[in-house]
Structures are given as C-alpha cells and as structure tokens.
Structure 1
C-alpha cells in the first residue's frame, strides 16, 4: 500500500519461509526503487519472527549503489513488529518511534466550599512523604486527554461528576479527601518545588475565577472523518463551537 509521503506500507500476516521472503523482498525493492519510493514499512504479525533477522541483515543494491542496508526495528507491540528502511538518496524523514507517555492530573474543585480533591498514594515517588496531591495517571492508547483525566479520577476516587462522595480505590490510594484550596497550595512540597508550585498556583487562580482559565476542549472531526479534539486557550468554548459550525456550513464566494 502506498502511503501519503512517497513510501510503501506492507502488512504481512500469513506464515512465510525465509526462502520465499528474501527473493520477494529483493524484487519488491527493485520495483520501489524504480518508482522512486522513499520509506518502506513492513509490519510483521506475531508469529513471523523468523523474518526479522533476514530483513535486518538484508543488503539491497540497485545498479552499482548500495541502496538499502537492512531494515531496522522501528517499534514492536504484542501483535506485531514494525520494520523500516529508507531507500531514497534524499535525507531520511521517517519519524522516530513515539518515546513519551502523556500523564494527566485531575483537578476537581468544589466551588461552594473551595475545596480540592487530593490523595495519598500507596506507591510511587510520593510514598511516605505525607504530601496530599492531585491524582495523576497515564493516558491509555487511543484515549483523548480529557477522557483520560475523567477516567483516572473516577477509577481511583470513585467520584462521579454529580456527587462529592469519595470511594477510593484501595489498590492505589492510601487516603483521599477534600482539602481547602489554600491548604493544598501552601503545603511545603508545593511551595519548595518550582514545578508543583506552578501547578498549585494554576489551581488557586482557577478557584478564584481569575484571568487564567486554561484550555477549553472543542470537539471536531479530521479530514478523514475521525472524531478529534482541539485544546485551545479560551474561556469562550461556545463561541468556538459556533465558529466551527459556521465554517463547516458556509459556502465560498467567488470574486
């Protein structure tokens, strides 16, 4: 399958011997080179591990030039291994494998009492520190930021949007409670650590309904029709939604 960047994506799912794989790979690379393809992606399904070594040690020549010196393992998941090779003389622009995880924190404020939901964690860097902190967790694969934040709060504290009752998760949380926002902000840990002081001050300003309002979530769709979200710094998300709807229904005018 040709990708959108002048390359080729190959998805191998059926068993194949090395004797069959290597000649087919060589013939395909010759054809792709003639077509001036750039990046080659080969996705090997689980069970095709026998093809990894020959692909990584494969040498491909086109004319008198060494056009490809084996494939490299780009990344691996439980279901597959992804190999890549760059066969163009142009600079290699294949993206590196994702190496970061997105961590989210749940800032839950009771506006009436000006109290924030905080936890004592059983494990992790805050174990036995006595620090009351916002609950944090890791975004799951394919999950949106706001969905992950809400899920983490609900899973660990049992808190639902319409109630203030806490039902903590015993496996991760030692204790959970509502704490006055000023008390949370003024904890020595938050005051002595620049990063946490910055976050605590954001929470304080939000509780006081000051100028900082953070990002608003605007639901939209991509060019392929997939649901997506834009996170932007505004306190008027309804205006943004109206602008989006207007843009999607307006007709260009010729001059």
Structure 2
C-alpha cells in the first residue's frame, strides 16, 4: 500500500513539472507525450495491493464473492478513450475470474458515460440507474445469471386518521382527478423511510393535521401499474391517531378535505372501493376494539450489526410473546 501511495505522489509531482514545462508548447508530439504519461501514471494508481504488477481496477469484494468497482473513486484522466478502458476492464475480468469471483458491479458516473459502451463489449448490462450514475452488472460463472433484479415496486402509504371520540376519519379529494372521490391522504414512501413515518408525513403535508402511527391496516398489491412506470405497486394503509384537528389542506394537491363520519364513508358512492372497504374495517375496530383489526409494529435488532427492522403482526397473548434476544435471526 505504501508503494502505491509513493508512486501516486511521484506521478502527481511529475505531471505538475511536465505541465509547467509544456505550458507554452502546442505541438502534437508534446501533447501526445503528456497524455501518454498521464495515462501511465493513472494506471499505477489502479494496481492491486497484492504486490503484483497487473493493471486491474480496484474493487470491494462483498460477502457473496462479487466485486464492486466505483469509477467515481478512480483517478481517470479526462482523455482516456473507451478502447483503453475496455482493455483495462478486460484484464480486470481475467484477474477476477482467476480469483473465482462471482459477479462484477460497475458504478459509472454520468460524466464517464462513454465507458458504458466499452463495458457492454465485455458483456455488462444495465442493472439500474439513479440520479448521476448507472450501475452495470456482469455474472462471471458459467450458466444463467443468479444476480438479483433491481427493485420492482414503488410503495405508496396512506393514513386513516380516526377520531375515536366521534367516529370521524380524515379524508381528502385529490385535485385534477377525473373523478373526485374521497380517499385517505397519502403518497409515496421515501427511500429509507418507515411506512408509519410516511403516513404521518403525508397526512400533515396534505391536510395540516398532525398525527401519530398506531398500526398497519392493509396492503394492496397491483402489478403493471401505469403510475409506477409499468412496474408493481404496494399501497399500504395505516391507522393513525390525531394530535391536532384543525384542517389547513394543501390546495395544490387537494380539492377538498374534511372530517367525515365513518358510517357515511362506508356507504357513499363518492369514494374508492379500497377506501370503502377500509371504512367498514375501521368501523368494526371502533365498535369491537382496534385490537381485532390492528397489525401493530415492533422494532427488533437485525442480524446485521447495529441495524434494526420493523415487524408487523397481530399481537400475541403475553404468555406467548417471544423476547427479542431469543429470536433466531436470519438475513
């Protein structure tokens, strides 16, 4: 590691000297020499740390034997061609196959998007893209790829805010809809956001009412959803309890917002089938006890150190409840 660091430092100093010496030179020979030297210096920084002289990309090996290469962190110069990169990638793949690696994940920033074509020559395909980078993947062993596909669902969350003192629930009518039906306020969950947090946030953003999460009520699954770019959609409805009651709804998203009787919501034709069904479920909980319909949440430690997960299920009798430390953890 120290040798690589010293070589990188030396190459940086030599590049600076050359730039100063050639700053007033414009001949093709000088420019070509400088570019060749710059590329050679960059290759020194891409060498592996096992003491070999093989010019390969440096990647992080995961627990499944795959290699992740982040080109954002690589010291490429702006004039490296697709052909040169293709040769470097080819040599790297030869090395990784010799080492018995299972797959390669290649993170390509949009600024280096010209390398995508070079990677495709080596068999890479798109896995997914996000904002300023694309992730390419290649299965190395023989046979069909066993790499997992990218996320195929979007998660929508709604909050049914029930005022138990008068049997009313908070509903909205979306703006700019063909049919203005009553529904529970909600929206898409942000990455890394718990569904209860999404429900509380969306309710406040749309209605101005503050609330707290109580339980999970239902999950709807729908495939080939036009609103999810043809992918699958999960629509989750949570039961919330109000902390405030004054309505100050978002006029950009909502046409109307009211506290409506659950009995009226369950019978009206001015609502969606799922909202009507959930209104009947909430009425049952209001009359018979919400423990009959609730799926409460418990946070438990995950198998991954320092991480937690949220588990939703009907509450067990106390004698049968399992202590978190007795749980058999699985990834």
Q: Quickly name the TM-score band, shorter chain normalised.
A: 0.7 to 0.9
CA shift in 2, pair 1:212/1:91, >3 Å: farther
Unmatched 5+ residue regions in structure 1? 59-69, 249-255
**CA–CA distance in structure 2, aligned partners of residues 237 and 98 of structure 1:** 36
Corresponding residue to 2:254 among 167, 173, 187: 173
Partner residue in 1 for 2:182: 132
**CA–CA distance in structure 1, aligned partners of residues 179 and 190 of structure 2:** 27
Question: Are residue 10 (structure 1) and residue 69 (structure 2) matched?
Answer: yes
Unmatched 5+ residue regions in structure 2? 1-59, 212-242
**CA–CA distance in structure 2, aligned partners of residues 189 and 237 of structure 1:** 40
**CA–CA distance in structure 2, aligned partners of residues 115 and 237 of structure 1:** 30
Describe the SS at the equivalent of 1:91: coil
**CA–CA distance in structure 2, aligned partners of residues 143 and 211 of structure 1:** 25
Corresponding residue to 2:130 among 72, 77, 80: 77
Corresponding residue to 2:292 among 212, 221, 231: 212
TM-superposed deviation, 1:205:
2.3
Query: By percentage of residues, which structure has more helix?
Result: 2
**CA–CA distance in structure 2, aligned partners of residues 186 and 217 of structure 1:** 30
Q: Compute the TM-score of the two structures, normalised by the length of structure 1.
A: 0.81
**CA–CA distance in structure 1, aligned partners of residues 140 and 323 of structure 2:** 45
CA shift in 2, pair 1:120/1:43, >3 Å: same
TM-superposed deviation, 1:211:
5.4
Describe the SS at the equivalent of 1:156: helix
TM-superposed deviation, 1:35:
1.9
The 5 Å alignment of 1:1-255 reads 1-13=60-72, 14=74, 15=76, 17=80, 18-58=82-122, 70-123=123-176, 127-161=177-211, 162-188=243-269, 193=273, 195-208=274-287, 209=289, 212-235=292-315, 243-244=323-324, 246-247=325-326
Question: How big is the alpha-carbon RMSD for the aligned residues of Structure 1 and Structure 2?
Answer: 2.5
**CA–CA distance in structure 1, aligned partners of residues 249 and 317 of structure 2:** 32
Describe the SS at the equivalent of 1:146: helix
Aligned residues: 231
Q: Compute the TM-score of the two structures, normalised by the length of structure 2.
A: 0.63
Q: Which runs of 4+ in 1 moved over 4 A?
A: 236-242
**CA–CA distance in structure 2, aligned partners of residues 82 and 34 of structure 1:** 23
Describe the SS at the equivalent of 1:108: strand
**CA–CA distance in structure 2, aligned partners of residues 145 and 29 of structure 1:** 41
TM-superposed deviation, 1:242:
7.7
